Each structure stands twice: as C-alpha cells, then as structure tokens.
Structure 1
C-alpha cells in the first residue's frame, strides 16, 4: 500500500483496514478483515469453501 504504516498502538489489521480506506475509499469492518502473513498456510484446492459465497 502506498505510504502505508502501522501507527503507534495500532494493530497491523487496524492499519490495513485504515490504509485500504485511505488509499481506495473502500471500507471494511476490522472484525471481518482477513489477514495473512508470509509463510502462512493457504487452503488447498480441496478445502471446503469459506465465506459468504460458500453456499453457491
């Protein structure tokens, strides 16, 4: 994210949500924001779908 940073006392998730809104105008609720980190496991293609589209 251009110019993104984590402010003092701010969680990385809160910073990501704030930066997303600042840079794009898109607002998401912090408690619904998905977060990953380098090296974190990714779901395999055979994993059951998750999220709002899981019943489609």
Structure 2
C-alpha cells in the first residue's frame, strides 16, 4: 500500500503510470527458503524518483 501511495505522490502533478504485477516465481536457491510455491510482487511507476544524493 505504501509503495502505491508513494508512487501516487511522485506522479501527482505530472501524471504517469503505476504498474503492480503479481506472478508465480522460483526464488534464487541461495536464499535458502523452504520448498513450496512462491509469488513475486513487482511495483513500478514513471514518477520522478528519489534523488541520488538521498
């Protein structure tokens, strides 16, 4: 929810695109997670972003 709210504020003045994607995935084996099914959530936007100096 916070990611989407932050994206909204980043695009509030100029508009843009917010994309939220949920898909089944297999995590990297080096994460040492238990066997099972996993999903990945990807959130992206076309907002101004965070300045590098922060």
Give your verdict on TM over 0.5. no
Q: Which structure dedicates a bigger proportion of its chain to helix? A: 1
The structure with the largest alpha-carbon Rg is 2
Q: Which has the higher contact order (CA 8 A, sep 6+)?
A: 2
Q: Which structure dedicates a bigger proportion of its chain to strand? A: 2
Query: TM-score, normalized by length of structure 1?
Result: 0.28
